[in-house]
Amino acid sequence: MIGLQRSSIAVLLLGLATLPAHALDLQNLKLDRLTGILSKATQAQQQLDDHSEAELGRGIAARVLGAAPLVQDERLQRYVNRVGQWIALQTERADLTWRFGVLETDDVNAFATPGGYVFITKGLLRILRNEAELAGVLAHEIAHVVQRHHLTAIQRNARAGLLADIVSLAADNQKHGEALNKAISAGTEIYARGLDKDDEFEADRMGVVIAARAGYDPYGLPAVLQTLESLNAQDSSLALLFKTHPSPTERLAMLDQAMEERLDSHAFGSQVTKRFNQYVKVAR
């Protein structure tokens, strides 16, 4: 396993300052219709506490960074962290130690690991047009962490009880380490295989609501999906994204059905194009 370098950790911890708040009162939107269980505590993998979840996520994140390092631009990393931290505050898992990073790869993708690690690639950042679209992407990944989708997938695809072993064997360093490494390996495999379609659709639904709560135009994520839909599906930079996610067309159709016109009154939320361009121009 490739460990996190000190410089990488330092960059991920930067930028905890809060953006100007544009929070909206969305109580009248009946959010449960959009998210299903956004306001309910998830039942998936409750046996894994936050500390153990973060431990697992840190190990998976280390392997991700071994394959694609962080972009060496402190201003860019700080900016993406600030946006991500503000969005994460709008969720019921705001108390996690969230970390956000931009990966040095032309592949178009974004993903999260358990415990609050969220990554977006330089390739995806390059095709975004404003901060609302960035917010939509980050909110989608944050939703995966909030709903513990990766933990559910690990438990489903690996040995039954593997995640519980991480907690129960904590007093036995050797056995705890063995269980943790197995779970990290199982978790890393998910990024090549992908989550269930239903998990992706749920993260889309939650993502637009979380972004709107943060004061952003809720149509930022649909705009990104429209951009992806317009790209050449044979482009090698899109291969992993299209392999591990439902098609943009299918995702847009599901979002349209879920959103209907419920968020239209908030469609003039912040897009923040000027600030986005100031920080992201290096990645273009």
Compute how many other C-beta atoms are within 10 angstroms of the C-beta atom of residue 25: 8
Nearest to 221 by CA among 269, 165, 170, 160: 269
107 vs 134: CA distance, rounded Å: 16
pLDDT at residue number 27: 40
pLDDT at residue number 281: 73
Q: Burial, 256: exposed, middle or buried (Cβ in 10 Å; 0-12, 13-18, 19+)?
A: exposed
Our separate counts of H helices and E strands in the chain read: 14, 3
The answer to whether the CB of 105 falls within 8 A of the CB of 241 is no
Kindly report, residue by residue over 91-149, the tens digit of the pLDDT.
999 999 999 999 999 999 999 999 999 999 999 999 999 999 999 999 999 999 999 99
Go through 71-96 and write b for each residue having 16 or more CB atoms within 10 A of its CB, e for each that does not: bebeebbbbbbbbbbbbbbbbebeeb
- Paired with 117 in beta bridges are 99, 113
What are φ and ψ of residue 109, in 5° steps?
-170, 165
Compute how many other C-beta atoms are within 10 angstroms of the C-beta atom of residue 280: 22
Task: Average pLDDT across each block of 10 residues of the chain; the chain has 284 residues. List them in order.
Answer: 36 36 40 43 55 91 93 96 98 96 97 96 96 97 96 77 67 72 86 93 96 93 96 94 95 87 59 90 61
Written as six digits, the tokens of 250 are: 């299918």
DSSP codes of every residue in 216-280 = B-TTHHHHHHHHHHHS-TT-GGGHHHHHHS--HHHHHHHHHHHHTTTTGGGTTSB--HHHHHHHH
Helix (H, G, I), strand (E, B) or coil at 110: strand
Which residues have a Cβ under 8 Å from the Cβ of 50 and sit 6 or more positions away? Answer: 95, 96, 115
Q: Alpha helix locations (H) across 13-73?
A: 32-35, 50-67
Helix (H, G, I), strand (E, B) or coil at 25: coil
pLDDT at residue number 284: 59
pLDDT at residue number 265: 54
pLDDT at residue number 268: 58
Q: Tell me the whole-structure pTM to 2 decimals.
A: 0.81
